[in-house]
Amino acid sequence: MNRVYNFSAGPSQLPEEVLREAADEMLDCNGTGQSVMEMSHRSKAYEPIIKECEALVRELMNIPANYKVLFLQGGASMQFAMVPMNLKKKGKAAYVNTGVWSKKAISEAKKYLDVDVVASSEDKNFNYIPKIEKITGDYDYVHITLNNTIMGTKWAYLPETGDIPLVTDASSCIFSEPLDVSKFGIIYAGAQKNLAPAGVTLVIIREDLIPETLPVENTPTMLQYNIHSENGSMYNTPPCYSIYMMGKVLKWIKANGGAKGMAKRNIEKAELLYNYLDSSNFYHATVEKGSRSLMNVPFLTKYDGDKATEINKKFVTGATAKGLVNLAGHRLVGGMRASIYNAMSLEGVKALIAYMEEFAKEN
């Protein structure tokens, strides 16, 4: 069996060591004679799995004691509603619009409170992060999307918000580099980029932001942070297998230097690819320097119009034949996109660049 280099934006490549270990335990996990897929979430067999996963999240992110770690469902998209539902007090929030997922978060929040879009990069098709160093106002919270999967941008700084809680969607950059949790009120992330198979959403929330009662009338029980906090993420059956896999990925991250180790690994990969793009007369990166993501790298060829469409299709087809898969760019950006999350090796990026060089010479 030949493994491919999977450049998918998500669900994405997982560490091979983790997959092999999970495969070995598929029929018998920890001597229980059963798969995690078969375990009761309230059993003595499963309890240490979820507890260990939370402990690893806390250790590797250096999470202060006054934060709760929750394992929820519904993806980051569910958090687009849960955040305004749970944090609404004054009835107004500030959002920074940096791409597709920011726009979806804004649209959802508007159903529950007034939204001020205090900055946006839509004027240049979201190819940069706007400069807004301080945000003030009568806001319940400020929301940013830390890494923009589709557009390939990331926040290289955090805006100053004073006493206003800063909330972020970190789905596509969680654990890719160190992050100061204390600067945020809530960090949420769908797991299917850097942490686990799809199905579980990691939520890190400061305890004082968990309301005892909700201001949004008739809020469904499952959309209340306090319910999940009080029940240890087990109000209902959690995504047991995805949490189990997250624990294994976190052990892999720890064994490879933790968040600092991931940052070193990811910077090396990203610099190699961006340096090639910047030196090429055939390809170019779409994102301005200073706003470039370590995780998602969109790029275009020198062609426009119908010729570009033809070349892009040819590029992706040829790459797939060489075991470099899921490189088609998003329709809003075009071209190609290489998502190089934690599990992508340096060898994978080198293989991609070698193919890009070969393709450029032929076309």
- Catalytic residue IDs: 101, 169, 193
CA distance 86 to 213: 9
Q: Evaluate whether 197 touches 241 at the Cβ level (below 8 Å).
A: yes
Query: Phi/psi of residue 174, each to 5°?
Result: -60, 135
CA distance 300 to 277: 9
Burial of 148 (0-12, 13-18, 19+ CB in 10 A): buried
Q: What sign does the dihedral 244-247-249-252 (CA atoms) show? A: negative
The encoded tokens of residue 234 equal: 């087990």
Q: Evaluate whether 150 touches 286 at the Cβ level (below 8 Å).
A: no
The encoded tokens of residue 264 equal: 């070193």
The encoded tokens of residue 325 equal: 């898969």
Q: Which helix (H) or strand (E) holds 271?
A: helix 258-279
CA distance 92 to 137: 9
CA distance 89 to 306: 51
Q: Is 258 left (phi over 0), alpha (psi -120 to 50) or beta?
A: left
Q: Evaluate whether 130 touches 120 at the Cβ level (below 8 Å).
A: yes
Query: Phi/psi of residue 14, each to 5°?
Result: -110, 155
- List Cβ neighbours of 97 (8 Å cut-off, separation of 6 or more): 103, 106, 117, 119, 120, 121, 122
CA distance 343 to 251: 13
